[in-house]
């Protein structure tokens, strides 16, 4: 069985990742902040919505759930108890959900929010991670109801996945994140090349996502907080009490907040 994964655009820069079973014409959507683009897409391709997976409670991730439930009454909503929707299946760390026989493990990846979940889906030994706003290509989410320590630990955990793992962040922030990364690591050739590609892709209305974990290890400063080049780049901008990875990671997040 083959599952197609497609981004539906919402708002100005959101992606509603859509899992499609082309055999039975069923779909699962992740974080539908808007209902209309999902309904339009499903109608265009003759698909029936069977499940909604939620990563966290922010409105641009859950705003379309109620309307989608009205249009597709049999839809099975999967969410944490603190996600602001009424789930048919309540998830937490260690839970699992199914996509037509393929299993997704639920990981707690708090930091951006206190109850942020990621879906680690295994399809034919290839991992696909729907990471919401925890990790972006070349970046990470702001800290709202979580803590910087949680976000740092979530990054460490995601970094334990196989290098060929595909990551599906929920926003098109890649080019801006790479520009920030180059303000820390101006000589990073991988970042320079990735920025050129991201600019071309977005100019042509194409998603820069998904990305592999291997790619992110080369271009995401938040995954590179132990690298000497990153430490020196941060120290050139702010005073650090020490060079521990968490200290550098926290300084990077603060620098990005003000970038």
CATH of the domain at 74: 3.60.15.10
Backbone region of residue 166 per phi and psi (left: phi > 0; alpha: psi in -120 to 50; beta: other values): beta
Mean pLDDT in residue range 111-128: 97
Mean pLDDT in residue range 88-109: 97
What lies within 8 Å, CB to CB, of 181 at 6+ separation is 138, 139, 188, 191, 219, 220, 221
Mean pLDDT in residue range 34-53: 98
Mean pLDDT in residue range 123-144: 97
Mean pLDDT in residue range 228-236: 98
Mean pLDDT in residue range 15-33: 97
What lies within 8 Å, CB to CB, of 92 at 6+ separation is 80, 81, 106, 108, 117
Report whether pLDDT(208) > 80: yes
Say how many domains are in the chain: 1
Report whether pLDDT(1) > 70: no
Burial 31-64 (b: 16+ CB within 10 A, else e): bbbbbebbbebbeeeebebbbbbbbbbbebbbbb
Average pLDDT, the chain: 97
The domain of 238 spans 3-257
Mean pLDDT in residue range 84-95: 98
pTM: 0.97
> What is the band of 2 on the pLDDT scale with cuts at 50, 70, 90?
confident
Mean pLDDT in residue range 27-45: 98
How many Cα atoms sit within 13 Å of 79 on the Cβ side? 24
Backbone φ and ψ of 25, nearest 5°: 60, 40
């Amino acid at each position: 069985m083959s599952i197609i994964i497609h981004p539906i655009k919402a708002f100005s820069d959101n992606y509603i990742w859509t899992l499609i079973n082309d055999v039975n014409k069923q779909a699962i959507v992740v974080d539908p902040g808007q209902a209309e683009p999902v309904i339009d897409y499903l109608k265009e391709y003759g698909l029936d919505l069977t499940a909604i997976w939620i990563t966290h409670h922010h409105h641009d991730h859950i705003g379309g759930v109620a309307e989608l439930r009205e249009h597709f009454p049999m839809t099975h909503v999967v969410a944490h108890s603190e996600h602001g929707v009424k789930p048919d299946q309540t998830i937490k760390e260690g839970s699992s959900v199914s996509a037509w026989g393929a299993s997704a493990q639920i990981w707690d990846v708090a930091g951006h929010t206190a109850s942020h979940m990621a879906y680690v889906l295994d399809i034919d030994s290839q991992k696909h991670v729907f990471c919401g706003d925890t990790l972006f290509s070349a970046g990470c989410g702001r800290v709202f109801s979580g803590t910087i320590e949680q976000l740092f630990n979530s990054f460490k955990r995601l970094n334990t996945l196989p290098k060929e793992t595909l990551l599906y962040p929920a926003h098109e922030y890649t080019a801006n994140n790479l520009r920030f990364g180059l303000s820390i690591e101006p000589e990073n050739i991988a970042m320079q090349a990735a920025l050129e590609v991201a600019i071309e892709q977005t100019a042509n209305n194409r998603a820069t996502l998904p990305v592999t974990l291997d790619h992110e290890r080369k271009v995401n400063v938040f995954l590179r907080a132990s690298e000497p080049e990153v430490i020196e780049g941060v120290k050139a901008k702010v005073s650090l009490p020490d060079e521990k990875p968490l200290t550098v990671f926290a300084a990077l997040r603060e620098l990005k907040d003000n970038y």
